[in-house]
Structures are given as C-alpha cells and as structure tokens.
Structure 1
Amino acid sequence: MSSEESVMEALDAVSREAAMEAFQDFQKKSVEVIEGDSRKLSSIKEGLAMFVDAKPGRRGERFRYVPIDGLSIVADDLVNGAIEHSEYAGYVLPGRGYAEFSVRPNRSVPPRRYIEKYNWVSDHAECGHHFTLQGPTRPIRDGENRGIGFHVHSPKERSCVELSRATVTASFLNDPWPFVVPSPDSGMRTYTLKVFVEPEMDADSVSRRATDIAARVLFELDIRNGLSLLLEPRERLRVSFDLASGASAPSIRFPRLKTPREVAALFSFASEAYDNPPFIFLSYYQVLEYYLPMAHKRDAVKALRIALRDPYFDEGEDSSVLALLHSIERLKQASEEDQLKVLMRDFVREEKLKEFFKDADLKHFASKGPIAGIPEISFHPKSDPLSLQVAKRVYALRNRIVHAKDDPKYASIPVLLPRSVEANNLKPDISLARLLATEAVIHGQS
C-alpha cells in the first residue's frame, strides 16, 4: 500500500487535528495555504477535505470541499494568485490569463443533465493553451461516445474558450454547500466555462476581458445553436413579501378595491419573478405607468378649472385665450418623468412615505448607497419635497434598467444588469416601488 493510500485509509471521517497528524508534509502545507485567513479545515469525510468559511455570508455558514488528492492543486492556484470573481461564481488566475465560470441552464434542470443531452460539435484545434496542470483538457466522452463540451479558439484575439468538467479549484471556490457532502454524481455545477486570454494584463483587465468573452460565447450559443446557458451569479437575491411562517394574516374579505385585471397581473408577475430583482422593480413600475394618464388627466382638469375660474380670465380677450392654450400645450407635452412627479404628489400619501423611510435602511438611499447613478433621498430641510425626490429616484432607476448605453440621451447612465451586484442590492428600492404601486391602486379608484 502506497503512503498516499495509507493516508486516505486513516482519514475516514476524522477531525482537523487527526487529519493534520496523518497528512504528509506537503499536504499539511497545502491545507495551511488554503486556510489562509478566510477558511478553516473542519474535518475529512469520504476522501474529501471539508473547509468552513471563517466569516459566514448572508446565507449562514458555508462549507467547501476538495478531494484530498486535489489539495496541492488548489493550494498552488491560490499561491499563484487565484481570486474569486466579484460578480459571478468563478475565479480568475491573472498571472496565467485564465478565468473559469460556473454555468447553468436557464431553466429548472440540473446543469449536468442539460449539457450532457447534446452531441457537441466544435472546430477544435490545438492552440497551446493549458487549462489544467495536466495539460489541455478534452471533451469528455460518455458511454455512447458522444462529445461533451467544446474547445474553440481565436488566433486573432489570442484567446480560447472551453466548456468541460470543472477543475478542482473551481469546484472548491465556486461551490459552497450549506451542509451536505456533494456526491461526484450529484450533477450540481459539474461543468464550467474556461477562458484563456493574454496573461500580460492586470487582474482587473483579465477579469473584464474573460467575462466579456464568456458572455459573447453564451450569447452565440443561444442565438446560433439554441442552447441557453447562463453564467451563475455569485449571489442571487430572492425577493419575497410573503407573510412570515406562523404569523397571523389579516382577516380575509371580499375585495373592496376594484383592481384592473392588468394591474393584478403585474403584481402577480412581480411575485413570480422573485429571483430577478430588476424584473420585480419594473413590474411595480408598470403599475405606476398604468395610472400615469389618469393622474395627468386629473391634474390637467384641475389646472384648467383654476384658469377658467380666474377672475382675470376674459374669454373675449385673445391674450387670455392664448394663455389658456399655452397651458394646455404644456400639459399635453409633459414627459413621463413629469407625469410620474404628478402621480407621486397626488396619488401617494406623504405620511406613507415618511412611515416607509422611518423603518428603511437610509444608508441604501444615501448618496453613497449601493446603486450608482440615481438620486439620493435626503431629509435636509432645504431638500425637495419627499414625493419629488422619490419620483426622480424611481424614474432614474427605471432608466438604468431599460435603456441601453448606445442611446445618446442616456449615454451617461450605466446599465443595471440583471444578475449584477447592484441587482442583488435592489430590495429596498423594490419595497419602495411596491408601496408606490399600492398607493396608486388605492388612489386610482374611480
């Protein structure tokens, strides 16, 4: 029996102390490198070393696993500068110009099952790029001898891309588990997209370049090959306004609000899109849009009635009539943002806004909040009325989601992407939009 086999036999469901005693020197050093200041070896079970994140994330304590024979591989990559991608489940090795991303299908199907049901054909050619320490990986063959995955490259861009089984480092860095030891055949994130770019760039440039190429590859797979794969976001915010488990719900009654079917459908879709924060926000914004014409009409009628009741208005004087016509023209040409300001002023109760912000995280709505490029909410005595500030913020956020950069009108506004870090910080703004939409429904009763 080899020394490695002896170690494996001794390491069956043992603690960290016992494992370190049984490990060979190179394995001990690998564990120390992997632990660093952010992880801790917890135990060994079924040939897997289990590490615990030192600082629990928003979802609590997370575990990471690596096969004992892969400890040195993970440690070497970490020593060589491997860092987790900030936005997606993946990691970057800047010194090698390498990045690896977890991918998943755009549907409720295990990634392995989705990927392995196709017969992949690609223009494979040797390019000299090595994705693992053992050399360039090849599409894995199954029992039916079908090619699984692909490897393509561009000499012009000096880059190549491969879809294949995840490397041990990617599995360790990308896949924290809540409590269970993953089975090799579990099908969870079995495959990753690997990108090789020029290694002369700095870490940020490698990350941006690799992410850009990965997005282009997945886009073309979708439109050209009919294969819908997504980069797995590092964090996925799930927004729900469901009643807490065990809480007492208000007494159920026959509906008193005459809610239009379209509005009810938009509210329902907001709940359905619970894991897509920008879609949830837009669903509530569409409810506001539904009531914009009503609010604008009411405001116009009110303004015209005031003008007609003005004691100085003289229908026999051209100047009085022209002034009235100019007022009508201004009302007709009101922009969507101006209409939204009217809606916020006339359809949303100020006390409801104050009540909302009293309990809200005000740092989120401050000038240095997590969502860039949108107005803050200020409570300074000299600030604009609260309803006006809210209208400006909501409209600016709507523009960040729906407008492309190539539109000159919105060239200075960065696009808010669906699975971005900013998208994962949208819940306070979504809660605000939900309140505004509810107020619009209440005040829109005929």
Structure 2
Amino acid sequence: MDELTLIQEKLDKVNEWTLDQMRRVKNKCEKFLWEEEAANKGGETIRQMKCRQKRKKIIELFPKFWSTAFLGVASLRKLLNETDKKIIMEHLKTVDVEDRLDVKSGLSKKFSFSHNGIADISGTEIKWKNKRPKHDVVEKGSGQSSTTDVRKSFLEWFSDDHLPKDQDRDEVAETIAYSLWPYAPVYYINATKTSVSMAAGIHADENGLPVSDSTTELRRRKENEKLMEVHAESVNAKEAALTNRWDLKYDLQVETEEKVLRQQKTELCRSIYEKRSEIIKGIPFFWLNAFISHSALADILNEDDHKIFRYLECVNVEEIEDPTLVHMITLNFNERNPYFENASLTKTFSHCVEGEDTNGCTIKWKDSVCNGREYPGDRNVGFFTWFSGCGYGSTGNLDEVAELIIEDLWPNAIKYYFNGNRNYKKESRIVKVCRLWAASNLHG
C-alpha cells in the first residue's frame, strides 16, 4: 500500500506541475499580446474606424447624449456629488476613449493599459472659474455607530495624477473605458426609458435623468433604432477584430506551448503509469472499484456493466499528437470474460478545429450470454453502449464521460479505488476482501 501511495503522490506532483506551467503559459501569452496591442497604436481596423465615425455622427443628433449616458451608469453615478451632477448635466459635451489622445481643449486623463488592468495615470489640472466645489458630507449609520464619509468630487478624481496607495488599478477608468464608452447607446436608452431629450423642455428626475414626453416618443423611437443598429455594428466589428487580432494569436501561442508541456508530462508519467499497472494487476476488481467509487461514472454503469467489469484487467489512456491531439481509451479483459469475444476495446477522440471526432469499436457479444440481443440484460443503455459509440456520442466538445475518464479517473485511479480514504489498515482490509470476493466469484 505504501508503494501505491508513493505512485499517486508522484502523479499528483506531475499533474500539479503541468497545471502550474499551463497557467504560466497563458499568463505569458496574454501579457505578450497586451504589450503587442499597446505597441500597435494603429490597431483599430478600418471597419471599426468607420463604425466609430458613424456612431459619433448619430450621437450628435441626441442632445445631452453623453451626460445622460454617463448618469445611466449606476457605478459612475454614485461617485458624483451634487456639483458633479450639475456640471455633467449642463456642460458635458463629449466623451472620447482612444489609444492616443491629442486633445486641444477640454479635460483629458491618460492611462496605461496592461493585462492586469488600468494603472498609470496623468490628469488635467482644472482651472475653476469661481470657488472650488466642496466635498459632499454624508452621514452613515445612526447614534453612536454613525460615521462621516467625505465624498470626493468626480472631477477631482479626473485631475488626480496618481492612484491611492492601497490600489493597483483604477476601477473608475476601467468603467469608463470598458463600459460607458463601448456601450454608451445602451446606457443612454436605459437611462431615458423612451430616450426623450432634455433639450425639448423635459423635466429631470432626482438623478438628473430626463422624464418622458409622449409627443416625441415616436420620433425618438426611430432615432433609437438607428442608434442601436450602429451600436450593434460597432460591437460586431470589435468582436471580429478581437477574433482576428487577439483570439487566434492567443490560441495558437497557447496551443503551441501546451503541446510541448503535454509531451513533457507524458514522458514524466510513462514510467509511473507502467509501475502502477504492474502493481494493480495483483489487486482483484481494482478498476471496478475505482469506477463505482467515482460518483459521476458510477451512474453510467448499470447492473450488467458491474458484472462485465469483474473481468476488466487493465484500463489505459494514451495521448498522441497525430498531428492533432488524439486520446485513446483502451479496456483490456481477461480470457474468462463470458460476455464478448473482444480481448480489448478501444475508443478514440480526435481533437480538431471542427470539434471532436469520436470513434468507438464494435463489441462482439456472445450469443450464449445475450440471447440474440445487442446488449445483455433488460436495459440497452449503459457504459458499453457509450463505449461502442452509441447513445453517448459527442460531436462538439469532448463528451463528459470521456473527459471524466481522461482528466480525472485515469490520473487518480488509486484515490478512487480507496474511495479517498488514506487509512492504511482499512486499505489492507479492502484488498483482502476483494481477493476473497474474486476467489469465490470467478470460479462460481
């Protein structure tokens, strides 16, 4: 039992190392692509540029568009004090988020984008015409437990040149860049309900948002439809650009490095799995107990499968690059198997761009057992139905049963055999019971 425990510990270490290396690969590829994007200032596609220009022209038709959209973002609205709200509603003309800013007038704030978020900043000093706005003082709680919160002006945040010491990223900037800017039309329409302009003499609610006027509803509805059409166009253009410029590069780089890691893992585990196979050959019903101890796989095995698994001697999972990734699950049965003629059964899963190509095998059932039926017993659905390629076949992602065997049962078979119990006395008792069971049943 000590030897089995040592083998499982070795497998765990290799698997943990592989997962850690794969995480490092993904982080490295993500960082590399972020840096590449940052260097490629002209990374906007022609389609994206046209959509941005088209959106800008339509937005100009909506009075108070940016002030309304800004106040429509709840996480931004709660940052505004009363002075901020007044300034934004009365005087905010446009909001622009670009890779490079060459602003001749207005306020600008520059940020450094990285794969960890938005961090480095430089603001614009605001030259107030009159007095600097006061902070809002808000009382929290009641009685002795009450506290005073001084709410900083949003515009003061805009002019700041640094982040607070306890922060490593600017969440306000991220909200503007990743939410308000790309989804401004959605925020505008949601904020106005029926998108009625405040310029038409409409009253504002307590948050400074316009109240609907039924006389302009039909006209605004048509304008909203045009706005949302352009918004959908912009989103599609961005997704297409990301797919071509980011996703494909990322997937290719990650897959290339993961392929090397998989090969290294295979070599590291080969001798460990061979040693494990030698040891468990002497443990009766090892794989039957491992399968039925796995809660998900146990549900697939019917009563007849349990009987057949008594003759299962070995399970093997191979990973081959041919040239795409191929997984092979092989079951080897002993010669006393009365259920079918096959000495071994193999199921393969070929990973390709279109998905997974699954190939089962033909099981040659013995007539003396099946009485002419395709599958012994009263039920036609079970583990061997899946293994032969019927019933549980997968045409998209790797099917769940195969994934459980390849990713979980195969590397952790010893754990499942002992059902997660690392009590050595109990383990010895389990093996002893299994051997007695084998002696009484295989000859019965």
Q: What TM-score results when the alignment is normalised by the length of structure 1?
A: 0.24
Q: Which has the higher helix share?
A: 2
Greater relative contact order (CA < 8 Å, ≥ 6 in sequence): 2
Larger Rg: 2
Q: What TM-score results when the alignment is normalised by the length of structure 2?
A: 0.24
